[in-house]
């Protein structure tokens, strides 16, 4: 896991530092999830997006690892987590209605 700042990988700082740097740099956190590269972008203090290439999720084990990451985020942040197709301009309502799968806090899920 590492922080990418304007394309340069550095050690992962605390969240306050990431939040501060994102205002002046292109900032993302890169994580390897069972062989699937996941990149996290921070939009504001309340929202972030995880990007991954669906063709890299080519086994049941990799899919389960992605689902486990979603559950971990949902439970840790006590938030609803959605898996959607690329939807940069989508509204929250559209994303919720078109989610491929979603997890709520405490492992409540809907595939």
Residues (pLDDT < 70) of the chain are: 1, 44-45, 87-89, 107-111
Domain extents for the chain? 1-53, 59-111
Rounded distance between C-alpha atoms, residue 2 and residue 12, angstroms? 5
Q: Is the pTM of this model over 0.85?
A: no
Query: Residue 111: its pLDDT value, please?
Result: 47
pLDDT of residue 1: 66
The residue among 6, 65, 79, 60 whose CA lies nearest residue 37 is 65
34: closest CA among 1, 59, 62? 62
Residues 52 and 36 sit within 8 Å (Cβ to Cβ)? yes
């Amino acid at each position: 896991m590492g922080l990418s700042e304007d394309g340069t990988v550095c050690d992962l700082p605390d969240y306050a530092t990431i939040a501060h740097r994102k205002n002046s740099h292109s900032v993302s956190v890169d994580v390897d999830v069972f062989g699937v590269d996941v990149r996290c972008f921070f939009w504001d203090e309340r929202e972030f997006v995880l990007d991954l290439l669906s063709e890299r999720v080519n086994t049941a084990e990799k899919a389960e690892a992605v689902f486990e990451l979603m559950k971990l985020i949902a439970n840790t942040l006590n938030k609803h987590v959605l898996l959607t197709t690329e939807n940069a301009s989508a509204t929250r309502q559209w994303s919720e209605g078109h989610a491929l799968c979603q997890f709520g806090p405490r492992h409540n899920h809907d595939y």
